[in-house]
Structure 1
Amino acid sequence: MTVTAPVTSARADAERPAHRDGNVLRWLAAYTASMIGDNVYYLALSWAAVRAGSPAQAGLVMTVSAVPRALLMLGGGVIADRFGPRRVVIGSDAVRCAAVLTMAVLFLSTDPGLWPLAALAVAFGTVDAVFLPAVGALPARVTARGQLARVQGMRGLGARLASVVGGPLGGLAVALGGAATAFGLAALLIAVSIPLLVSVRIRELPTDDDRTGAVGTGERPGVDAVDAVGSLEPAVGDAAGADGRAEEQSGAVGPREPSGEPAAARGGTAWRDLVGGLRYVRGHRVLAPLMLVIALGDLGFVGPLNVGLALLADERGWGAAGMGWTLAGFGAGAGAASLLLAVRGRVPHAGQVAAHAILAGSVAIGALAFAPGVFAAVGTAVLVGLLAGLSGALCAALLQTQSDPAYLGRVTAVASLVSLGLAPLGMPLSAAAIGVWGTGPVFVVSAAVCGLGGVVILCFGHLRRAELPR
């Protein structure tokens, strides 16, 4: 049974900051517990795979989950929109919990070897293809539209906490009881999220009456009235709002039924929903260039901050400790950006701020390769994390607030596919290029690719003028 918030409750929630909203805090606790469980699971899987086979075989086990995740991601977005993100997240967590718990039982009774571990990785990747779009679509259904930027900051803090806590917890579990204990702990943490998600109230999608101001008197149609019930109409000023309505009338966001949902989301085939979602993204004046920004950022950022940093530390003689401190600096900067957004809640001129943060962050990425020592590298990494974290959080918040909520699962799926598809490509390319030209030129080129994302924002007026809702 889905719990929905009535309009009166939505109005009250719109005035309540997300960090004081019990509904949002229950969602955040569920998300954080699930993410900590994920971190413990991946550590347990890698440890068990290394113990069961060669390093090459262990690496294959760790990567096979990427194939079904990439192939099925767009379909996962359709499922999230058709069945509702909360229902899909609960079902996904239940399947993930059962799969990991089964592996824990196997390790208690026997030594399963590599094949069961590979099967678990494939199953996890398949469920992730549904889980990730639903997770991205869920915040818009648990809080008011004006709180989505703050929620993105809170989500970033939860992800940082999971990455800091998950590794040591998994290592402790392995040390105390081996893979069985680690897999069991991961299953328990994922299971904790399920009752929390069940208790989360889901906001109804806005209706056409809500969008035209029929829910109250004296409200400006399409803006104030929509804000009161948490709709996600484009909010880039009066001119942009008019453009958004023109797009809707011309079919850019799909035909609407009286319920406020796109017709494709309420009937027809899954294929039709998928095609409709892709057309929606392609025809949207903010989301289409925003996807390009995300692609450029991931392509230029992931390589240097993963394999590139390891090669840089080896080249400069910083050692593993120096690399660790540099990564810690990046994490601290990114965490500070998430905290800033969680506390402030709204950043004016979000599109322009994101563009300038990307441009400044790209300069910092290029400068990292020329840091004279570990301390300078750590300071530069803090700056990279702060600027990249701020621009990333703002892009995620704009994606949430600019998307029609009935399409948000499919929009998130496209963004996730762009990231997951380009991130693995950037690492081997960076490693190969560094082997030929060295760290300095590759970091500079990668920084230029990142910087193009800021240029894209500045070149597309609707994205440049995009604002987060009040």
Structure 2
Amino acid sequence: MTAAATATGPAGDAAGDVAGEAAHDAGEAAHDAAGAAAGGGTGLRVPLRRRRFRLLYAGQCLSRTGDFVFQVSLAGYAVTAGNPALLAYTLFGQATGTVLMLLVGGALADRFGARRVMLWADAARVLATAGVAAQVAAGGQHVWAIAACGLLLGLGDGAFEPAFTLAFTELLPKTELLAANALQSIALRTAGIAGAALGGVLLAAVGAAGSLALGTAGFTLALALVLVAGSWPTADRPPSGDGLLKEATGGIRYVFAHRWLWVSIGSFGVSVALVVAPAKALLPLASADVLGGGAGTYSLLVGSQAAGALLGGLLVGRLRRVPPGVLVFGGMTVVCAGFAALGLSPSVAASVGVALVVGAVLSAATVAWAATLQSRVPGELIGRVSSVDWLISLGVSPLALVAVPHLLGFGAPATVLVAASVIALAVSAATVLVPDVRRLAWPAGTAA
């Protein structure tokens, strides 16, 4: 036994923890070296051989499922209680909190490390969702209190997402980032399907308060698994001496200093603003006009897109010989063309096929973009650059949805969807032609 293992008292315990973590890191490095000598792992299994990533990934599978259970349960309660304002205010509070925290969330992750910020964020989300469950159990009379919990939930979301992006780069080599993001995409899509179904079952079985409480359990377990994983090595980041807001602007400065980055983020913003976000409101109306179907037809299209997204996460690794810039924005060009086709197709069968392709390609493009961002941005800036990326995507979504009713004054839903898709298609296609984007390359030995 080592001296650290036989030491007593707090100092001995701390020494034992450090020694244990160091031994684990050394063992993992030896395992990686042995794997590389034997030809390495293949496919999605590569990142999963790392204990800390496995724990983080398992936690996210649980928390994402709990998130969907929570959403379905809250919506079900609002409808049953005849109080749509409760749901609207809660979602508004969540969206507001997310956007506000994204302004500084990346700077927090870069300053304090991914693990610490994820623990703070998950703790906030546990408190927020538990607060909503408690309010509902008490009768849900105080809408302001539930909306405040929604704000806290959004603050947790805004802190968590850039930290989670950074965590991948702290736990994995660049060659495994594509596989890790593919796994994350699969988890998100599977959680959406399973969480929505589970939420409906729980709502009927134990009521809204019980269902919301079980949704809270997902965040609680994710928090516990990050704690179990223990601290992990991070790059030394000497304090800059700047305030948090000034540090946060470092991400913006870095984005605008690199043409491939600001062009890419801007192009994604256009696609989200013109197609991805408005389609949530336009596609149901367009499918009713063109296909003559109701809610069932739209549900079929959404389900097909979700199935395609799951398939895209599974297959993206087979496309790693395609340069990432071409894969991402060539894929977004296909996605925009697909939405235009959905606005024109008079056949339900053809629309289902197109929705399947749109989901698969959008998922693959998103996975490839996340891996590209993580592998090319310096580690000390990933949190802040990720915040900028999230802020553009999430910030334009509500604005785009608010614009939909006004746009419908100029044409039918299908016409508006097709026109917006064609414009976004042109922007995505032009992005592929930008030399800095087209010449992006994967790190040598990338696995997926």
Give TM-score scaled by structure 1 length: 0.81
Query: In 2, Cα distance between the equivalents of 1:361 and 1:9?
Result: 40
Q: Greater helix share, 1 or 2?
A: 2
Determine whether 1:439 maps to 2:417: no
Rounded to whole Å, the distance in 2 between the matches of 1:348 and 1:458 is 12
Once residues 135 and 328 of structure 2 are traced to their aligned partners in structure 1, the CA distance between those partners, rounded to angstroms, is: 48
358 and 373 in structure 1: CA distance in 2 versus 1, 3 angstrom threshold: same
Counterpart Cα distance in 2 of 1:383 and 1:345: 15
1:370 aligns with 2:344: yes
The equivalent position to 2:143 in structure 1, one of 107, 114, 127, is 114
Alignment partner of 1:165 is 2:194: yes
Alignment partner of 2:133 out of 92, 104, 118 = 104
Residue in 2 aligned with 1:361?
Answer: 335
Q: How does 1:23-172 map to 2 (within 5 A)?
A: 23-52=52-81, 54-56=83-85, 58-172=87-201
- Per the TM alignment, residue 344 of structure 1 is displaced from its structure 2 partner at its CA by 4.0
SS of the counterpart of 1:466? Answer: coil
One of 379, 391, 399 as aligned partner of 1:425: 399
* Structure 1, unpaired ranges of 5+: 207-258
Partner of 1:467, secondary structure, is coil
- Residue matched to 1:333: 308
Deviation at 1:126, TM superposition (A): 1.9
Aligned counterpart in structure 2 of residue 319 of structure 1, from 261, 281, 294: 294
Q: Distance in 2 between matches of 1:138 and 1:340?
A: 23
Identity of aligned residues (%): 26
After superposition, the Cα gap between the structure-2 partners of 1:99 and 1:388, relative to the gap in structure 1 and judged at 3 Å, is: closer
- Once residues 136 and 417 of structure 2 are traced to their aligned partners in structure 1, the CA distance between those partners, rounded to angstroms, is 43
For residues 55 and 305 of structure 2, the distance between their equivalents in structure 1, rounded to whole angstroms, comes to: 28
Matched residue pairs, number? 414
Distance 1:406 1:284 in 2: 16
Cα displacement string for residues 232-290 of structure 1 (whole angstroms, at most 9, x for unaligned residues) = xxxxxxxxxxxxxxxxxxxxxxxxxxx4x4x5x55432123112222112112432222
Give the match for residue 5 of structure 2: none
Q: Distance in 2 between matches of 1:281 and 1:188?
A: 37
| Counterpart in the other structure of 2:4 | none
| TM-aligned CA deviation for residue 19 of structure 1 | 3.9
* Contact map agreement 2:189 2:306 (CA 8 A) in 1: yes
2:276 is matched with: 302
Provide closer, same or farther for how the CA distance between residues 117 and 8 of structure 1 changes in structure 2, counting only shifts above 3 A.
Answer: same
Paired position in structure 1 for 2:219: 190
1:34: Cα distance to partner?
0.9
Does the 8 Å contact 1:327/1:381 carry over to 2?
Answer: yes
| Contact kept in structure 2, 1:81 and 1:409, CA below 8 Å | yes
Aligned-partner Cα distance in 2 for 1:166–1:408: 30
Measure how far apart 1:33 and its partner are: 0.8
Change (3 A) 1:51 1:372: closer
Q: Structure 2: which amino acid aligns with 1:384?
A: V
1:242 equivalent in structure 2: none
Retained in 1: the 8 A contact 2:287–2:343? no
**1:199-238 to 2 correspondences below 5 Å:** 199-200=228-229, 204-205=233-234
Contact 2:275 2:417 in 1 (8 A): no
Deviation (angstroms), 1:105: 3.5
User: Quick check: 2:59–2:226 contact (8 Å CA) kept in 1?
Assistant: yes
Contact 1:355 1:458 in 2 (8 A): yes
Query: In structure 1, how many angstroms separate the alpha carbons of the residues matched to 2:49 and 2:86?
Result: 47
Q: Is the deviation greater in 33-42 or in 351-360?
A: 351-360
TM-score by length of 2: 0.85
- Which secondary structure does the structure 2 equivalent of 1:199 belong to? helix
For residues 198 and 441 of structure 2, what CA distance do their matches in structure 1 show? Answer: 40
Relative to structure 1, is the Cα distance of residues 435 and 311 closer, same or farther in structure 2, using a 3 angstrom cutoff? farther
CA distance in 2, matches of 1:287, 1:204: 28
**RMSD of the alignment, in Å?**
2.5
- 8 Å Cα contact 2:117-2:163 kept in structure 1: yes
